[in-house]
Amino acid sequence: MPLDRIVEPVAYGPLPDRDNYWRTTAEPPAVPRLEGAQEAEFAVLGAGFTGLSAALRLAEAGADVAVVDAHGPGWGASGRNGGFCCLGGAVLGSATIARRYGRSAARDWANAERAAVDLVAETLETRGIDADRHSDGETLLAHAASRRPDLKERGEEIRALYGLDATLHGKDELAQLGMASPEFHGAVTVPIGFALNPLKYATGLAGSARTAGARLYGDSPVTRIARETGAFVLKTSTGELRARKLLIATNGYSSEDVPAWLRGRYLPTQSNILVTRPLTGDELAAQGWTSRQMCYDTRYHLHYFRLMPDNRMLFGVRGRVRSTREVWAQTRRQARADFDRIFPAWAHVETPHFWQGLLCLSPKLAPYVGPGGAHGAYAALAYHGNGVAMASLSGRLMADLALDRAPAIPRVMSAPMGRFPLGRHRRWLLWGMWHLHRLQDMARGRA
């Protein structure tokens, strides 16, 4: 029985990942298929950052843990993202969090965002994972003169939440910083975060989890989870895994039925990335873009980009609701048109790599870490497109919950997820949001 999923089948097939640049740079460990009847104390469903981080934490606590993935480690968004290891994970701003969950909740969330970035840095360091790290914090660029106040506001927020100084840059300074583009009217640099190669990170996490004793299974879509005498039994076409506890880590690749608790609680949406061939020194000079900062802009339909250590430019665009071949081709054309507008001196430069993946929203517009619908089941998901750091932390928190360690989980994350309206037609909400944001960007970009 195929999984009951709400996005078109193309999203789960090979096309969106076919030309993924990261796959040419790292090879996650080959893992066996789940065969026959297996047992573990903890079963983790999904081998992205969330599941692998959880598995590593559990295995290092001495637990018997098995991870099952439909494909393999880093197959989902974790092996497809832009590698921005940064603050974020919720759509809600700190003022809304404070209003909804209390002032201390806003501070707890800010601390978690920072702790998430620190956790990834520490993991790379202590596990000896070379993930091509670069960038000192991240830089937000104003896409219109009228958006300059957003930069100041972000700087003030960083000071209030973290006691750190963000640096404002005027339009005239951008060329000196190696960020020359006709598109931008100023910037602010936040001194937290760094960029990495996400597939090297996922590969390193998988290796560390295995070394610590976790068993990893791939090519094993779980098509049903049964409850039998107090255990969860994860069924695949070639085997089954029986475990006392279940950790759900399927994020944007979740389904309505495995497990049924997920139905209506998650909303997948796409993000897309172009990567150029390596740029020459002359080409970098011609554009005036030599900075290695990870950058994004003030649009709702934001662009995120960074010049990588091998001189390839990575350029990401959010959005598009449907996942069909036609939409894939349209998105690629639109991303390329945006790239040409922002970096006109590179209009001749080939972009051989373009790929897509699914990220995940929750009805409360913040990540969730908590019980997963049955005694002994837990879930961590919905990082709203910012999961390199936050999925790593959430996986660890979920593992601590499963270990009965009563971790301190920020209220905004532990609050129940709720369900989206419109049932399996809930992607219409994205369609509405997409058009609203397009109009807002047009209006905000005029001056």
Ligand X SMILES: Cc1cc2nc3c(=O)[nH]c(=O)nc-3n(C[C@H](O)[C@H](O)[C@H](O)COP(=O)(O)OP(=O)(O)OC[C@H]3O[C@@H](n4cnc5c(N)ncnc54)[C@H](O)[C@@H]3O)c2cc1C
**Beta carbon nearer to ligand X, 107 or 235:** 235
Positions in the binding site for ligand X (CB under 6 A): 3, 45-51, 68-71, 75-78, 80-84, 221-222, 249-253, 255, 258, 271-273, 316, 357-359, 381, 383, 385-389, 391
Answer for the pair 371, 394: CB distance below 8 angstroms, yes or no: no
Answer for the pair 93, 51: CB distance below 8 angstroms, yes or no: no
Answer for the pair 276, 336: CB distance below 8 angstroms, yes or no: no
Q: In whole angstroms, how close is the CB of 275 to ligand X at the nearest point?
A: 11
**Beta carbon nearer to ligand X, 351 or 386:** 386
Q: In whole angstroms, how close is the CB of 320 to ligand X at the nearest point?
A: 11
Q: In whole angstroms, how close is the CB of 34 to ligand X at the nearest point?
A: 9
Separation in Å, CA 81 to CA 73, 122, 199, 259, 366: 14, 20, 9, 25, 19
Q: In whole angstroms, how close is the CB of 49 to ligand X at the nearest point?
A: 4
* Token pair for 30: 């080959």
Buried b / exposed e over 95-109, threshold 16 CB at 10 Å, is eebbebbeeebbbbb
Rounded-to-integer distance, Cα 339 and Cα 342, Å:
5
Q: In whole angstroms, how close is the CB of 295 to ligand X at the nearest point?
A: 11
Please, is 57 exposed, middle or buried when counting C-beta atoms within 10 Å of its C-beta (0-12, 13-18, 19+)?
A: buried
Q: In whole angstroms, how close is the CB of 432 to ligand X at the nearest point?
A: 21
**Beta carbon nearer to ligand X, 48 or 363:** 48
**Beta carbon nearer to ligand X, 264 or 357:** 357
H or E stretch covering 44: strand 36-45
3-class DSSP state of 66: strand
**Beta carbon nearer to ligand X, 73 or 410:** 73
**Beta carbon nearer to ligand X, 185 or 312:** 312
